[in-house]
């Protein structure tokens, strides 16, 4: 009887443990271009403006591999915009994902900020010291990337 209770408990718990592990994997997802970081580790702050003329304007574009950068991103327009930190493989994934979705739907990727018109948000990012050679900053709201709303940055060593 006791054994059966334990077996039942295990059966109930196992899926929860498996799910927790899966969530854990998602949380620690590693991109070649880096990962989210703590505010206390920030070595540089860069201001970015997202505009309705489909541009991402940076006040500084000198980022070294391994740096922890705080991006303060302001959507100065009225349309929604995104600020995504990525690379070519992320772009391919993300564009596909966006095509499947309705326009205007928000994302919750750790490397993407979704901004309504007039909004300001921040993201702290640690660029990989070895693998973050070329980083693609972009807005993937449908049509925006195609209209030139991106910036390719070759990281300084
Ligand atoms: Cu945009």
Listing DSSP states for 10-40 in one string gives: HHHHHHHHHHHHHHHHHHT--BTTEEE--GG
Report the separation in Å between the CA atom of 32 and the middle of ligand 1, taken as the mean of its atom positions.
24
Report the separation in Å between the CA atom of 13 and the middle of ligand 1, taken as the mean of its atom positions.
44
Q: Which of 122, 119, 123 lies closest to 78, judged by CA?
A: 119
Q: Does residue 76 share a domain with residue 18?
A: no
Q: Does residue 87 share a domain with residue 16?
A: no
> What's the pLDDT tens digit per position in 118-151?
999 999 999 999 988 899 999 999 899 999 999 9
Report the separation in Å between the CA atom of 21 and the middle of ligand 1, taken as the mean of its atom positions.
34
At residue 65, what are phi and psi to the nearest 5 degrees?
-55, 140
The total number of structural domains that make up the chain: 2
Q: Kindly report the pTM of this predicted structure.
A: 0.77
Report the separation in Å between the CA atom of 96 and the middle of ligand 1, taken as the mean of its atom positions.
16
Assess whether pLDDT exceeds 60 at residue 2. no
> What's the pLDDT tens digit per position in 38-95?
999 999 999 999 999 999 999 988 899 999 999 999 999 999 999 999 999 889 888 7
Residue 102 pLDDT class (50, 70, 90 cuts): low
Report the separation in Å between the CA atom of 60 and the middle of ligand 1, taken as the mean of its atom positions.
20
Contact 64, 155 (CB under 8 A): yes
Q: Does residue 45 share a domain with residue 4?
A: no
Residue 99 pLDDT class (50, 70, 90 cuts): low
- What is the extent of the structural domain holding 15? 1-29
Q: DSSP string covering 134-153, please?
A: EEEEE--STTTTTTT-EEEE
């Amino acid at each position: 009887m006791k054994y059966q209770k334990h077996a039942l408990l295990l059966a109930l718990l196992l899926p929860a443990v498996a799910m927790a592990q899966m969530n854990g994997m998602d949380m620690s997802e590693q991109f070649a271009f880096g990962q989210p970081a703590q505010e206390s580790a920030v070595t540089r702050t860069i201001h970015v403006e997202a505009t309705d003329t489909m541009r991402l304007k940076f006040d500084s574009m000198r980022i070294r591999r391994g740096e922890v950068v705080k991006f303060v991103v302001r959507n100065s327009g009225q349309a929604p915009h995104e600020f995504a930190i990525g690379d070519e493989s992320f772009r391919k994934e993300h564009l596909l994902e966006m095509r499947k979705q309705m326009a205007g739907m928000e994302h919750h990727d750790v490397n993407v900020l979704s901004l309504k018109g007039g909004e300001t948000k921040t993201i702290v990012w640690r660029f990989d010291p070895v693998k973050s050679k070329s980083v693609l900053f972009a807005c993937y709201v449908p049509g925006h990337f195609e209209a030139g709303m991106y910036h390719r940055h070759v990281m300084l060593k």
